[in-house]
């Protein structure tokens, strides 16, 4: 009997979509097609590959009216925010624009005696395992540059966003990318691990949990398959004495609460200098108290359900534990009658928190943020670094030199000043510690999706 994969909608708990799980034999056939198609795809002029990726992006954008409500059904993001195409297009277009430069040969010598150069060659098959929280934007980070660089791509999405890979592939195929060059697959965990362990892929990109990343590394052990991993996060914000307070509150609270807090680089803990602390907290409470929790298909909804009840349960547990240990909840649950104890979760701000509490230490991935008062930069740096994760840190000051000096001491992948919760395609998207390894986007993203080959040609 064929195993089925289900997407349970957080909107009402119904089964929104089902797809048959590929057998080991079917999955092997998909890999074989990808392997056979790769040399011809890589042999095409880069300009053709770039044009086809651009056409795929355009075709995907034409589907946005279908994509937005589909995402609301699958993972709960309110339709009022318009989906992900703006970010998808920004990232994909930027990677297309820099491709020629990023993949250009490095000429060491070109003389009468020698030609010495380093070129970038595609790995072969790139396997993208994409998450549910931003299923299009996280996927395009790898899909667009991998295809442009001459790799074939196989994509697998989380069951919560079951239809995304299928739709992305359809858009790119309809735009002219050959069917065997970009394929979608529905797999269970065991078959996924078996394929990786057998060396079916030449590079694996995974975005998801720390446990998931560990499973990928274990499966790839001994195969020498390259892996890129973006895993957990507990990103901090630090508001200094010279910060623009209104801008800091607006941005950090939005960074904590947008997408029901289900953002890779969402703000999960905030440190505020003593002189601004009370005002920051007051403004933050006013913003969050004005949200409307409800059905994401309703245009008036500003915060939808979490993608699954089990995710909401983890956030509730962290809040309950923190309150029992002395934290103060500042958001009145009565303001959010839609909180049903299931996937619909009222947002919460906590004060009187400490790093002994899981809510300030473990990834919450929900609409919850703890705010702590700090005396100075030294205390803030110590607290920001007191985490097993390192994706981004958001610093609020008018002094760029001060921000850079603090940033140099932070264990993180990206340092923001007066900004948060944004992926800049011109910069390398990377993390350290438990957040994983590797890097996407920018020129470095191309380097991770290709391998160097050296030519030493003696002419006489």
- 368-374 vs 15-20, strand pairing mode: unpaired
Provide the edge-to-edge strand list for the sheet that holds 226-230. 182-184, 152-157, 125-130, 203-207, 226-230, 436-437
Element (H, E) at 415: strand 414-417
Beta bridge partners of 370: 269, 350
Q: Please report which helix (H) or strand (E) contains residue 149, including its range.
A: none
- If DSSP codes are grouped into helix, strand and coil, which group holds residue 77? coil
Asked if 263 is an active-site residue, the reply is: no
Residue 448's H or E segment, with its range, is helix 442-448
Question: Residue 115 has what DSSP assignment?
Answer: E
Q: Around Cβ 275, how many Cβ atoms within 10 Å?
A: 12
Q: Under a CB-based contact definition with an 8 Å cutoff, are residues 230 and 139 in contact?
A: no
Q: What is the 3-state secondary structure (H, E, C) of 8-37?
A: ECCCCCCEEEEEECCCHHHHHHHHHHHHHH
Give, to the nearest 10 degrees, the angle between helix 245-257 and helix 274-289.
Answer: 50
Residue 264 annotated to the active site: yes
Task: List the catalytic residue out of 70, 84, 230, 363.
Answer: 230
* Catalytic residue (one of 263, 264, 265, 428): 264
Backbone angles phi, psi at 53, to 5 degrees: -65, -40
- Cα angle 186, 23, 122 (rounded to 5 degrees) comes to 60
Q: If you write DSSP's letter for every residue of 370-413 in order, what string do you get? A: EEEEESSHHHHHHHHH-SSEESEEEEE-S-HHHHHHHHTTS-SS
The Cα–Cα gap between 424 and 414 comes to: 10
Beta bridge partners of 350: 329, 370
Residues 6+ apart with CB under 8 A from 301: 78, 80, 292, 293, 294, 295
Q: Mind telling me the catalytic residues?
A: 230, 264
């Amino acid at each position: 009997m064929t195993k089925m994969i289900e997407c349970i909608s957080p909107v009402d708990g119904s089964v929104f979509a089902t797809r048959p799980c590929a057998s080991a034999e079917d999955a092997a056939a998909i890999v074989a097609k990808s392997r056979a198609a790769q040399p011809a795809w890589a042999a095409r002029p880069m300009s053709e590959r770039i044009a086809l990726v651009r056409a795929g992006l355009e075709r995907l954008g034409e589907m946005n009216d279908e994509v937005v409500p589909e995402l609301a059904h699958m993972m709960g993001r309110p339709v009022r925010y318009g989906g992900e195409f703006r970010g998808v297009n920004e990232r994909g277009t930027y990677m297309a624009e820099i491709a020629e430069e990023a993949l250009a040969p490095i000429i060491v010598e070109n003389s009468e005696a020698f030609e010495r150069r380093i070129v970038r060659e595609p790995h072969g098959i790139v396997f993208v395992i994409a998450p549910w929280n931003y299923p299009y934007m996280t996927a395009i980070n790898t899909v667009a540059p991998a295809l442009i660089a001459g790799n074939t791509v196989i994509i697998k999405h989380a069951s919560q966003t079951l239809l995304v890979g299928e739709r992305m592939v359809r858009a790119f195929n309809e735009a002219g990318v050959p069917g065997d060059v970009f394929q979608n697959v529905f797999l269970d965990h065991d078959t996924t691990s078996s394929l990786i362990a057998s060396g079916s892929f030449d590079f694996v990109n995974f975005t998801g949990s720390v446990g998931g990343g560990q499973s990928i590394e274990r499966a790839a052990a001994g195969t020498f398959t390259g892996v890129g991993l973006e895993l957990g996060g507990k990103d901090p914000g630090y508001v200094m004495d010279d910060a623009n307070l209104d801008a800091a509150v607006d941005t950090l609270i939005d960074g904590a609460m947008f997408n029901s807090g289900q953002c890779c680089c969402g703000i999960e803990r905030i440190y505020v200098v003593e002189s601004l602390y009370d005002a920051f907290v007051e403004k933050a409470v006013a913003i969050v108290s004005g949200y409307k929790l409800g059905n994401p298909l309703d245009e008036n909804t500003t915060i939808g359900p979490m993608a699954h009840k089990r995710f909401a349960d983890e956030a509730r547990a962290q809040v309950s534990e923190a309150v029992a240990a002395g934290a103060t909840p500042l958001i009145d649950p009565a303001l959010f009658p839609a909180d049903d104890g299931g996937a619909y979760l009222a947002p919460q701000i906590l004060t009187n928190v400490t790093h002994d509490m899981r809510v300030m230490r473990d990834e919450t991935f929900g609409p919850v943020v703890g705010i702590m008062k700090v005396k100075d930069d030294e205390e803030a740096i110590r607290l920001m670094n007191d985490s097993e994760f390192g994706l981004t840190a958001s610093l609020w000051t008018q002094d760029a030199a001060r921000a850079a000096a603090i940033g140099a001491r932070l264990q993180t992948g990206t340092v923001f000043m007066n900004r948060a919760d944004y992926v800049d395609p011109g910069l390398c998207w990377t993390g350290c510690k438990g957040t994983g390894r590797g890097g996407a986007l920018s020129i470095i993203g191309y380097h991770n999706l290709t391998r160097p080959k050296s030519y030493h040609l003696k002419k006489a």
